[in-house]
Amino acid sequence: MLKVFNTLTRRLEDFKPLEPPLVRMYVCGPTVYDHSHIGHARTWVAFDIIKKYLRLKGYNVIHVQNITDIDDKIINRARELGVSWKEVADTYTNEYFELMKKLKVFPTVHPRVTDHIDDIIEFVQDLVDKGYAYVTQSGVYFDVDKYPYYGQLSGIKDKKMWSQEEFVKDKKNPYDFALWKCAKPGEPWWDSPWCKGRPGWHIECSTMSSKYLGKQFDVHGGARDLIFPHHENEIAQSEARFGVRPWVKYWLHSGYLTVKGEKMSKSLGNIVPLKDVLKSFEPEVVRYWLSSAHYRTELDFSWERLEEAKRSLTRMRMTVDELRKIVKKESPKGKLDEWEIKAIYEVSKIRNEFYDAMDNDFNTPEAWAAVREALRLGNKAIEEGSWEVSLAVLEFVNEADKVFEVFEERVHEGVEPFIDLLVEVRSKLREMKQWELADYIRSKLDELGVKLLDKGKETEWRFA
């Protein structure tokens, strides 16, 4: 049984979605005013892995991840750069899409705030009509005192600790928050029943999640920086409007990606842009490194750690490639040795360990330990030339890789016979002592990512 740690109850709980096998999941996406950084990627990959594991368990997951494309930060950035807010938002939205594709993170819907202004206005109007919100000169505010359960998610019960947003004279209480902000001169605006203005941040997520996932849904995610006030406010607005409780069944929060122990954050100026990381490392290395820590722990960034992850993944990939080659090119024996029988049973035990780990609040480091254990058996299978054990290991690794997505086959269909041919020509050249030409073929193949391994007169090759 899958168990997840729910921030709302502060407990590990059995995962029972509202309408199985459907799982409706919302994850807070980026505010597009700057480059996405590797800290963002940590959260997005964490929830992508959660989604893919749920799918592996037979759930149908609808995954919504928003794009905040209008916000004070975007407006300020546009001013600094002397361009329009739309240009800033479009530039970083496009970059975000490209990077998400590389990292193989594909939400079902990527709603943008500016495409949902009417829905937001309807939401706010409903809160005003129901008496949960009030209209002032500067905008519309949520009346926190009207909602009795405020503080439930963060556990912050002391009202003095609730103060948020800048102090605006016409707010009833310092802890009320803006649902709609009237535009100051020069700021972008949309028409509304109250003033020309724009939505507050929190209302967007309540509006877009309910639009695509309904009035109640299963999973809401983001990193833990969002617990207060963002997610606390989302709950207050949504429960006030829809009269449901709990609005979201499971609140999952990822830990920070840190730099020397501090959260990686644009405001602290310690960000490493994701595009730079992906220039030096393949997306698979990044996915592997991010998933090597549990999603709720902190993970400290360093280039050396990525290098280590690359080395470790390269070794694993070499084993996986070799297993694929054996299964494809060789044939079943029809009879198993003692160790092969044991190994095949061992793989089935390891497979259980993988599922137990993932069922325990998506414990990816333990799940990786299971994969590594299986690959150790894989190496023995390669050494012994066992087709059957190679198959058993490979089938398990392929299954686990539905979640991790790092072992995709990189072989282009039809290329192998041509490499075989070049290797054969090189062998003939060596026989004829044409070393220079033989070395030329080796170095050219190397550049193309094909490694040759001379074993006496025989030459083996593999993709690097």
For Zn ion, the binding residues (CB under 5 A) are 28, 205
Footprint of ligand ATP on 11-50 (CB under 6 A): 28, 30-31, 39-40, 42-43
Nearer to ligand ATP, 104 or 224 (CB): 224
205 carries a ligand binding annotation: yes
Q: Tell me the C-alpha distance between 462 and 243, whole Å.
A: 61
Please report how close the Cβ of residue 7 comes to Zn ion at its closest, in angstroms. 14
Residue 3 CB-half CA count within 13 A: 9
Say how many C-beta atoms besides its own lie within 10 A of residue 303's C-beta.
Answer: 11
String of contacts with ligand ATP for each residue 243-282, x by CB under 6 A: -----------x-xx-----xxxxx---------------
Find which of ligand ATP, Zn ion, none residue 43 binds, CB within 5 to 8 Å per kind.
ligand ATP
Q: Tell me the C-alpha distance between 406 and 385, whole Å.
A: 25
Please report how close the Cβ of residue 12 comes to Zn ion at its closest, in angstroms. 24
String of contacts with ligand ATP for each residue 278-317, x by CB under 6 A: ----------------------------------------
259-298 burial code (b ≥16 CB/10 A, e <16): beeebbbeeeebbbbbeebbeebebbbbbbbbbbbbbbeb
Per-residue tokens: 221: 């995610």
User: Per CB under 6 A, does 66 bind ligand ATP?
Assistant: no
Evaluate the CA torsion angle 383, 387, 391, 394 in order and state its sign.
positive
Q: Tell me the C-alpha distance between 28 and 277, whole Å.
A: 22
State the alpha helices, DSSP H only, in 67-116: 72-81, 85-102
Please report how close the Cβ of residue 274 comes to Zn ion at its closest, in angstroms. 19
Please report how close the Cβ of residue 460 comes to ligand ATP at its closest, in angstroms. 43
Find which of Zn ion, ligand ATP, none residue 205 binds, CB within 5 to 8 Å per kind.
Zn ion
Please report how close the Cβ of residue 28 comes to Zn ion at its closest, in angstroms. 3
Find which of ligand ATP, Zn ion, none residue 23 binds, CB within 5 to 8 Å per kind.
none
Of residues 72, 126, 187, 225, which one binds ligand ATP by CB under 6 A? 225
Partnered with residue 60 across adjacent β-strands are 22
What is the Cα Rg of the chain in Å? 27
Closest chain position to ligand ATP (CB): 39
Distances (CA, A) of 147 to 133, 233, 235, 395, 401: 10, 10, 10, 52, 45
Distances (CA, A) of 274 to 6, 41, 254, 291, 302: 29, 7, 18, 16, 13
Please report how close the Cβ of residue 66 comes to Zn ion at its closest, in angstroms. 6
- Residue numbers belonging to the annotated binding site for ATP: 266
- Residue numbers belonging to the annotated binding site for Zn(2+): 28, 205, 230, 234
- For binding to ligand ATP (CB under 6 A), which residues are involved? 28, 30-31, 39-40, 42-43, 222-223, 225-226, 254, 256-257, 263-267
